[in-house]
Amino acid sequence: MDRRIIIAGTGSSSGKSTVSLGLMGAFRKRGLTVQGFKCGPDYIDSSYHTAITGRSSRNLDSWMLTPAILREIYTRGSRGADISIIEGVMGMFDGKNAGSDEGSTAEVSALLGAPVLLVVDVSGMGRSAAAVVKGFQAMAGEGVHIAGVIANRTGSPGHGVLIKQAVEQECGIPVVGCLLRDHGLSIPERHLGLIPSLERGDLTPLFQALANHAEAGVDLEAVWELAESPEVEAESRLFAEPACASGPKPDRLRIAVARDAAFHFYYPENLELLEHYGAELVFFSPLVGELLPEAVDGLYLGGGFPEEYAGTLAQNRATAQSIRSAVEDGLPVIAECGGFMYLCRSLVQTEGSVHGMAGVFPGKTVMQTKLAAMGYREAMGAAGNPLLSEGETARGHEFHYSIYVPGEDGGDSYPSAYTVSGRKGTSPEGFLYKNTSAGYTHLHFASNPRMVEHWLAFCRKWRDR
């Protein structure tokens, strides 16, 4: 048997993150090995999971990934764990669109056969909490089992007793936790959501407080019992032996990966697939002024928060020059969102300050006070794209507050890297320059592993040119 539980919410502000982290911390305090997962494409919650569990958290996105690949990612990630805690996304039934469960926490529950703990913010309600739970039960489709409820932000122990009585009487499922309202436990937010753990320094006091909060208000034994589930039968596809495995083993490619507080949005599978298909990853930090490593055959500049460190990045001119020179020399480069922003001429903050970046692209990125783009994207490769071949598709998402403003000299006549489709239609996205594929879209390589083989083959050809 396997133990897994999904922490779903009635909405985005119901308290899923604090409950999920609290349970992870409480079970770790008991000496258990805990694996964190996050439904949907979110990178930030996953960074918190990783920090509190000591194991790399993984995203389970049922729109970007096929059911077989999602199950494989789950089974690989949960190997060796005593319990897996899966944090949901938004409300339990919120996903790609309003007409189905596609991409939702409910769909992940069905695909994994994972029981659900529904977190309900009960502040300002009593018996009505049972009506909320009953509505969620009525919406739950085949294979989705709401196993219990956690009443969050109760006003007093008596309030919790009232909620427990109403829900258990009307809904027939246990209330396994009543968490008192505690304003000191709110996780700080900013324009991109939760502050990444990499920027927070020592998170131990927060994690201890969350674990203590969960221990005080949740029946951990009941959660442990509810989490017992049949093993997930995974079809091994994503990390099967490459087609070339029976032939001669080529020398491993050296792929540089920017990784620090400014650039750290990488799906673990993206990096693992690069390694699986023959890459040796060489990590470096543009933020601390490290130059692009020598003798590399490719560069991956992931997303993150370059705008939060724009001043420091602007001062590290030698780093920027080493990357720009490599791009001009034709080094194969993948740049996503924050990485794309770094390759532009400058980054302009909301108050107007301008910070010079690497200068590969003549335009600038300008920070906005509101979201510029958010949502799932299906990307189709454009002609000459070293990562995603022309006509090939992959899935990913956008989430950014900046916009790209072309250079005043009109030197932005680069072909697009992709054609992307989303809720608002289809449009060109990103740029191709030399051997660089850059744009705002974060692609999940597991949505089309062929692009990893294609890109590494291109890197090998460039190396052996």
Catalytic residue positions, numbered: 337
Tokens of 16: 């899923």
Taking the CA atoms of 13, 16, 19 and 21 in sequence, report the sign of the dihedral they define.
negative
Cα distances from 438 to residues 179, 340, 348, 379, 441, in angstroms, run 45, 5, 19, 13, 9
CB 367 within 8 A of CB 402: yes
The half-sphere exposure of 327 on its side-chain side, counting CA atoms within 13 A, is 25
Tokens of 15: 């308290």
Tokens of 203: 């998170």
Length of the chain: 465
Among residues 402, 388, 373, 391, the alpha carbon closest in space to that of 443 is found at 388
Identify the burial level of 147 via C-beta atoms within 10 angstroms of its C-beta, where 0-12 means exposed, 13-18 middle and 19 or more buried. buried
Alpha-carbon span 427 to 314, nearest angstrom: 31
